[in-house]
């Protein structure tokens, strides 16, 4: 039995989490869920967006499923990443039949450094405006690049692309680029290349099938993964994993979407795919493939899907259809 921390969070996070747990009930595995609070509503009630109790629950679990956070996202998910040292953010970008993808057969993964860069939040006002500090270290660059190469080997991907802006940010991104190629020396069987981040943004649109694994710094990875979502039908189809040496947290890339929260129309795909990534993390690869296949069949059929996918099903109706496929696999 796996001990799983569950943080539904805010807005549609609660709805897609309910849908995903409904699907996971059909699994051959047993899960012991411990529910915890975090997000805007928690802050309103307690004055703190991420209570210590929640942090302790996650630390004691084998994995965590996280729904979404609203305005308090920086105080919740960013803090969780930092406190648990979840240094690798993995965001698969994959096109599925039946979705509004711009290209077929897109299948690449963005590996984003999760602990430093501009997202450390060191900002201050000045007489003229404001300044922000950007931290890039050799240690963090080395472990995220090594993670990317190891991920490529494990998933049988052939190319790792380092993304930076070392022609302008010569010291910070210069360290990242230098470290990337130093790590690459240990992986002679993996094709290696690097692009500037602005060029990468163009290449994702003009030649997305070129990419296998992209490794980059915090802010660049955040932006490029949202661009990737646009290639394959939107944020409702992009899962993510936050991985450290001891913990794993899995969440959809989309936010709390307050404009549709409570209407029961949110697309649960990204949350279900995040559960697929959790199963992979737990070493349950066969179960992960069955769950992904069940979702893929529902998307391809296009009959019981939510409005953003061209259907009229509710969140739970689509989840029930995925569960039925999952049970029958």
The 3-class SS string of 245-258 reads: CCCEEEEECCCCCC
**At which of 206, 231, 256 does a domain end?**
231
Mean pLDDT of the residues in the chain: 96
Q: How many domains does the chain have?
A: 2
Average the pLDDT over 86-107 and give the result: 94
DSSP 168: T
Average the pLDDT over 59-73 and give the result: 95
pLDDT tens-digit map of 231-284: 998 889 999 999 999 999 999 999 999 999 999 999 999 999 999 999 999 999
Is residue 328 pLDDT above 90, yes or no?
no
Based on the fold, state whether residues 114 and 225 are members of the same structural domain: yes
DSSP codes, 101-162: -SSTT-EEEEEEE-S-BGGG--EEE-SSSEEE--B--HHHHHHHHHHHHHHHHHTT--EEEE
Q: Residue 120 has what pLDDT? A: 86
Based on the fold, state whether residues 86 and 162 are members of the same structural domain: no
**At which of 164, 196, 231 does a domain end?**
231
Average the pLDDT over 64-92 and give the result: 93
Average the pLDDT over 83-88 and give the result: 94
Distance CA 2, CA 7 (A): 16
44 burial class (0-12, 13-18, 19+ CB within 10 angstroms)? exposed
**At which of 231, 259, 290 does a domain end?**
231
Is residue 329 pLDDT above 80, yes or no?
no
Identify the residue whose tokens are 């999760």: 114
* Cα 228 to chain centroid, rounded: 12
Based on the fold, state whether residues 109 and 172 are members of the same structural domain: yes
CATH number of the domain enclosing 317: 3.40.718.10
Instruction: State the pLDDT confidence band at 78, using cuts at 50, 70 and 90.
Output: confident
Based on the fold, state whether residues 110 and 227 are members of the same structural domain: yes
Q: Residue 180 has what pLDDT? A: 98
Helix (H) / strand (E) containing 194: strand 191-196
Instruction: State the pLDDT confidence band at 110, using cuts at 50, 70 and 90.
Output: very high
Instruction: State the pLDDT confidence band at 74, using cuts at 50, 70 and 90.
Output: confident
Based on the fold, state whether residues 222 and 263 are members of the same structural domain: no
pLDDT tens-digit map of 138-149: 999 999 999 999
Based on the fold, state whether residues 108 and 215 are members of the same structural domain: yes
Based on the fold, state whether residues 204 and 247 are members of the same structural domain: no
Average the pLDDT over 311-318 and give the result: 97
In terms of pLDDT, which residue wins out, 175 or 234? Answer: 175
DSSP codes, 259-296: TTTTSS----HHHHHHHHHHHHHTT-HHHHHHHHHHHH
Based on the fold, state whether residues 76 and 143 are members of the same structural domain: no
Q: How wide is the angle at C-alpha 115 spanned by C-alphas 80 and 92, nearest 5°?
A: 85
Buried b or exposed e, range 126-135, using 16+ CB within 10 angstroms: eeeeeeeebe
Q: Residue 92 has what pLDDT? A: 96
Based on the fold, state whether residues 130 and 245 are members of the same structural domain: no
Based on the fold, state whether residues 36 and 65 are members of the same structural domain: yes
Based on the fold, state whether residues 83 and 116 are members of the same structural domain: no
Instruction: State the pLDDT confidence band at 38, using cuts at 50, 70 and 90.
Output: very high
Based on the fold, state whether residues 107 and 224 are members of the same structural domain: yes
Average the pLDDT over 191-204 and give the result: 98
- Give the range of the structural domain holding residue 187, as residue numbers without chain letter: 102-231
Contacts made by residues 200-206, CB under 8 angstroms, sequence distance 24+: 200/161, 200/163, 200/224, 201/227, 204/228, 204/231, 205/231
Percent of the chain topping pLDDT 70? 100
Which residues are CB-contacts of 207 (< 8 A; sequence separation ≥ 6)?
Answer: none
Active site members: 119, 165, 198, 222, 226
């Amino acid at each position: 039995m796996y001990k799983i921390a569950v943080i539904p969070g805010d807005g549609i996070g609660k709805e897609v989490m309910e849908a995903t747990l409904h699907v996971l009930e059909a699994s051959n595995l047993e899960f012991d869920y411990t529910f915890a609070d975090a997000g805007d509503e928690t802050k309103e009630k307690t004055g703190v967006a991420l209570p210590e109790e929640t942090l302790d629950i996650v630390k004691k679990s084998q994995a965590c499923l996280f729904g979404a956070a609203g305005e308090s996202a920086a105080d919740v998910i960013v803090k969780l990443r930092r406190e648990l040292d979840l240094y690798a953010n993995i965001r698969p970008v994959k096109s599925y039949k039946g979705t509004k993808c711009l290209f077929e057969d897109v299948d690449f993964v963005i590996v984003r450094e999760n602990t430093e860069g501009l997202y450390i939040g060191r900002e201050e006002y000045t007489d003229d405006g404001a300044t922000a500090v950007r931290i890039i270290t050799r240690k963090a660059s080395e472990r995220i690049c090594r993670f990317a190469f190891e991920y490529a080997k494990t998933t049988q991907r052939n190319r790792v692309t380092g993304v930076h802006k070392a022609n302008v940010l010569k010291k910070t991104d210069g360290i990242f680029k230098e470290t990337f190629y130093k790590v690459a020396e240990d992986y002679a069987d993996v094709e290696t290349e690097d692009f500037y981040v602005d060029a990468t943004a163009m290449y994702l649109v003009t030649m997305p099938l070129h990419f296998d694994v992209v490794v980059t710094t915090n802010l660049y990875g955040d932006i490029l993964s949202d661009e990737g979502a646009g290639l394959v039908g939107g944020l409702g189809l992009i899962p993510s994993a936050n991985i450290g040496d001891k913990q794993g947290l899995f969440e959809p890339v989309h936010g709390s979407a307050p404009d549709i929260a409570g209407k029961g129309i949110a697309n649960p795909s990204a949350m279900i795919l995040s559960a697929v990534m959790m199963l992979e993390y737990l070493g349950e690869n066969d179960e992960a493939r069955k769950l992904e296949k069940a979702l893929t069949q529902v998307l391809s059929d296009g009959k019981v899907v939510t409005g953003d996918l061209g259907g009229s099903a509710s969140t739970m109706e689509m989840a029930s259809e995925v569960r039925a496929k999952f049970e029958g696999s």
